[in-house]
Amino acid sequence: MQCFFGTFDLPETAADGKSAVVTFHIPDMGIRFKAPFAAVDKNHSGLASLLALLEFIDSNQKYFSNQTFQIFGNNQSVIDQVNGRKHSPDQFAPLIERAFRYREKYRFSLDWVPRSENPAVDPLFD
């Protein structure tokens, strides 16, 4: 099953500290998600988006059991960190570790797609 994650930067940080919107999309199930997020930077919001998707899959196993997952995103840095090709900043180590645990549990693949091909960041979705 293909799944997509991504983020939108908000034009300016809101009074509540929210600076981005994290999104994910699971086309085969017709599921779209978005939520404001107080991100430190683009990698932080990218990791939050990926983890939101993985937590959704984990908490809805009655719909996702016996599935293999191909996860796509357009944040190359986050993908490289979770795939072990790039060191992650120490401040994000707990988030990366959570992604690693989900990978062990679900054995998903994680690959990059151009933003233009990522339905999680479709401008019509916003």
Please tell us whether the domain made up of 2-121 is placed in CATH 3.30.420.10: yes
Task: Dump strand ranges (E) for the chain.
Answer: 2-9, 20-26, 31-37, 70-73, 109-112
- pLDDT higher than threshold 80 for residue 13: no
pLDDT of amino acid 126: 47
d(CA 64, CA 35): 22
What ranges do the domains of the chain cover? 2-121
Residues 59-89 have pLDDT tens digits of 999 988 888 899 999 999 999 999 999 998 8
Residue 74's φ and ψ, nearest 5 degrees, are: -110, 10
pLDDT band at 124 (very low <50, low <70, confident <90, very high): low
pLDDT of amino acid 16: 80
